Structure 1
Amino acid sequence: MEETIGGRWGELFTRRYGAAVATLCLGVALYALNGFLVSTSLPTAVTELGGVDLISWAFTVYLVAAIVGGAAAAMIKHRIGTRPALMASAAAFLVGTLVAGLAGSMPMVLVGRLFQGAGEGVIAAICYALIPELFPSRLLPKVFGAEAIVWAAAAFGGPLLSGVLTETVSWRAAFLINVPLILIFVALVAVVVPPDRGERKRVAVPFLRLSGCAVGIMLVSVAGIVPHSWQAALCVAAAMAVLAGVVLLDRRSGDRLFPSDAFTFRSTVGAGLWVVLLMPLAQAATSVYLNITIQHLWGYGPTMAGYVSALMALSWSGSAILVANVARPAVQARLIRVGPFLLAVGLLGVMVALVSGQPWLLMLCQILIGTGFGLSWAFLSQAVMEAARPGERDAASGLLPTLQSGGYAIGAAVSGLVANEAGMAGAGGAAEIIHAAAWVFGVAAVLGTLGFLASFGVRRGGR
């Protein structure tokens, strides 16, 4: 009966669950806040240190390391234990923060970002894997709702905090603000995460598959900076081939990084992972091109454009809170399908709004996109976690944030490829900008539709 009756929000803040919620939310906050802190302060760092040609690599090396770390998280957890894995990852994040924050050159910043990414990738994946271990099924939507609030707070507070610290103290302060946060996280892990019982698995480190993940994501990142569209297309195609090869190789291995039914359409886990990948892949178009488009097309300033983008984060958090009390599996299954449907409709509406010059429609569609994520993401994640085959729940759970990051990376590359082919970079007037934006958001809507179709393979209460 406990599994079918929805829990109360107040339960999250009781003595039994309060510290666990704080630990997991802080783990997510480190990942979310760090991204917003660095994106705001890094231009100032480059001005002081030089190396403007390396600024994009500060994000690339972090992303590659985070995705590889996330892919390896389940293996690390089984090899050394949950608490030691989180402690070691936190130490790597701390070292990276100190190296980047105290760096005297951009290459040292890149080294720090590499350590930050590796540590935070493992932290985010293990925190996801801990959710079904530390909370009963009835509270999982509320835990994801709390994490959505953390993301929204980071989206609003991160740039503001980083901007104030950068302008009044130094860009280094914006980096080093992570130090007390990671120390608090370590203290919470020591209290909340129980010691592992039983024998740890002695698994071989899959260097080839992890290297394949790194190469695939690196190729995706390179696609965004090469000068010619054919080179970008070649990079994206090569990345897809490498990543598909990693998945196929993993299925034949005795020590898997991924669930055995990952990316098949015959199971909830396989279909669910496709939805987890495709939704951020589609939404990446708005993250990359919406702000710059409305600034050039409608004359919006950075602040106003930022508010338009923030509507998505607010809608995600608000809708996640509203549906967190839904306990019936049939209703949850419907919400899993409604989410990517609203995303696809919202992206199509963004295209229409830009073509027709209707700001009110654009804002409505941003709300639809955020609501799509908020209505479905918690139940989608829960479905994947609970449908995992015996012994594979850690791999399935830890893959969720890793795929989300990978989806944004691939989506940014695909959007860039479409934008370049449509003439976005050389657009000199409103008509050219509208033409390019229509292609970018039209393709994004198609990708969102693919996520909607994949969602029909996700079932609640079964595999």
Structure 2
Amino acid sequence: MTALEPRDAKVAEEPADRADERVLGRAYRALSVGIVSVVLLIAFEATAVGTAMPVAARELGGVSLYAFAFSGYFTTSLFGMVLCGQWSDRRGPLGALTTGIGAFAAGLVVAGTAGTMWVFIVGRAVQGFGGGLVIVALYVIVGRAYPERLRPAILAAFAAGWVVPSIVGPLAAGAVTEHLGWRWVFLGIPVLVVFPLALALPQIRRRAAGPVKVAQTGGFDRRRIRLALGISLGAGLLQYAAQDLRWASLLPGVAGAALLVPAVLGLLPRGTYRAARGLPSVVLLRGVAAGSFIAAESFVPLMLVTQRGLSPTLAGFSLAAGGATWALGSWVQSRPRVEPYRERLMTLGMVLVACAIAAAPSVLVHSVPVWIVAVTWAFGCFGMGLVIASAGVLLLRLSAPEEAGANSAALQISDALSNVVLLAATGAAFAALGGGTAASTAADAGSGAHPAAFAAVFLPMAVVALVGAWVTTRVRVR
């Protein structure tokens, strides 16, 4: 596929020294602001919803299903990612992007009006499908509309789009949750859809709409669609088996693995899971970094609320500084002077992530101040900024034009699949050690709680992040 091949060769060959040839220069300003606004929408959802999630799970009687609310999102996003790669190659990213944003908003409405935890999880799954379409479409747009020299900068701008939501989102979501109820956190976010659609779509239609010139003929690749269905269904069955710790759950677990393994092998670059040098290690690194970090971060607010008695507002605020440091890390990797040291920066980033995850459960000891989480998580987010943006840059650099679309989808699949698998594993450990009966209010904190359930989430994820530090040594092709 050639989804990331520039649609117009003149775009990629224009002089680099012209004043308007910058991400926010005259030629690209409207497009850049528009697609970064789409990232802002996703960022507000992630930060605000993450803050409200512990309260929603408690009121819906689904604390034991807490991990499903996150993994359900990532499971359906896997199918959306593969579908978007096919859709964008043959018809352009515009339709996939608008459909994705619509599904994303619809999922928020379903979750916000849910009466049971399972309906809430269904809403998150609809969100995930939309999110999978959106994230791959954005990569396609970057590859078509921007020359290679501007791609590190626009990917850094994506990270910068998380700064304001990471600061305002947890505070706003916490305040709304406490005074109006958690449902309004979900029902209020779809309003944000209007601005990015109005701003981005005209520019995308002009610069990146329509099929690429050398796109494959015919309809969608049915084999890849079947593999996408297999990977989504398999991941869902594994997640169910991990949460229902009974012998009867072995059957769906085995069935999920039987579907998942061949689908993964068919959709990811050859050699990914043995960390072959170059592109396979870049794809693997994205999954290891995102999976370990997100699996740990998903439990930070719940740990602070149930173990230290923080309000949802304060628990969410503990993650607020991370948006700024993530953006700072992305900005650092975009500087031309650091280009020769990109791989070393990625190694440093993964070490910082591992240290942050390992340090977070120290607050389970009540003599440790809770602000330790905010500080350590800020360093971890800086490391993620170095790694995630650099992985995107390296992927585009290592991909042949006819493979760029498939490889971009593979990068996102690795990200989402790792989230599903690691959330399933941590969710199983959390449930097995009694995490579902943890205290749910400030008054109950410390009574009947199970600190070991949280330690079983964070410490293994720190080890996974250290494995990612080793994978960074394999991304360079000798």
TM-score normalised by length of structure 2: 0.77
Selected match of 1:305 from 309, 312, 315 = 315
Selected match of 2:202 from 166, 184, 187 = 187
Q: Give how far 1:334 is off.
A: 0.6
User: Quick one: distance in 2 between partners of 1:66 and 1:406?
Assistant: 9
Change (3 A) 1:313 1:88: closer
> Pairwise mapping of residues 104-253 of structure 1 onto structure 2 (< 5 A)?
116-159=127-170, 171=184, 173-181=187-195, 183-184=197-198, 185-201=200-216, 202=218, 203-206=220-223, 207-223=225-241, 225-226=243-244, 228=245, 239-248=256-265, 250=266
Match of 1:177, SS state, is helix
Q: Give how far 1:272 is off.
A: 1.3
Aligned to 1:267: 277
- Is the 8 Å Cα contact of residues 138 and 327 (structure 1) preserved in structure 2? no
Change (3 A) 1:187 1:321: same
Q: Which moved more, 1:29-38 or 1:381-390?
A: 29-38
Q: Which moved more, 1:317-326 or 1:428-437?
A: 428-437
Selected match of 2:456 from 402, 414, 439 = 439
Q: Which moved more, 1:327-336 or 1:82-91?
A: 82-91
- Is the 8 Å Cα contact of residues 44 and 165 (structure 2) preserved in structure 1? yes
* 2:410 counterpart of 1:410: no
For residues 69-104 of structure 1, what are the alpha-carbon distances to aligned partners after superposition, in whole Å with 9 as ceiling and x for unaligned? 11222222222233344345455556x369749979
Q: Give how far 1:161 is off.
A: 5.3
User: Quick one: distance in 2 between partners of 1:63 and 1:181?
Assistant: 25
TM-score normalised by length of structure 1: 0.79
Aligned to 2:9: none
For residues 245-290 of structure 1, what are the alpha-carbon distances to aligned partners after superposition, in whole Å with 9 as ceiling and x for unaligned? 1123x2xxxxxx4445544522322111111111122123432322
Q: Which moved more, 1:51-60 or 1:379-388?
A: 51-60
Q: Give how far 1:125 is off.
A: 0.6
Structure 2: gaps (5+ residues) = 1-12, 440-445
Q: Give how far 1:214 is off.
A: 1.6
Structure 1: gaps (5+ residues) = 251-256
Q: Give how far 1:384 is off.
A: 1.9
Match of 2:240, SS state, is helix
User: Quick one: distance in 2 between partners of 1:233 and 1:301?
Assistant: 38
For residues 8-30 of structure 1, what are the alpha-carbon distances to aligned partners after superposition, in whole Å with 9 as ceiling and x for unaligned? 99922111221232233133233
Aligned to 1:280: 290
- Is the 8 Å Cα contact of residues 243 and 431 (structure 2) preserved in structure 1? no
Instruction: Indicate the percent of aligned positions where both proteins have the same amino acid.
Output: 22
Question: Match for 1:437: what amino acid?
Answer: F
Match of 2:320, SS state, is helix
Aligned to 2:303: 293
Q: Which moved more, 1:113-122 or 1:415-424?
A: 113-122
User: RMSD of the TM alignment (CA)?
Assistant: 4.2
Aligned to 1:449: 466
- Is the 8 Å Cα contact of residues 70 and 402 (structure 1) preserved in structure 2? yes
Selected match of 1:419 from 418, 425, 430 = 430
Selected match of 1:28 from 32, 36, 39 = 39
User: Quick one: distance in 2 between partners of 1:404 and 1:317?
Assistant: 19
* 2:95 counterpart of 1:75: no
Selected match of 1:394 from 396, 405, 423 = 405
> Pairwise mapping of residues 7-18 of structure 1 onto structure 2 (< 5 A)?
11-18=22-29
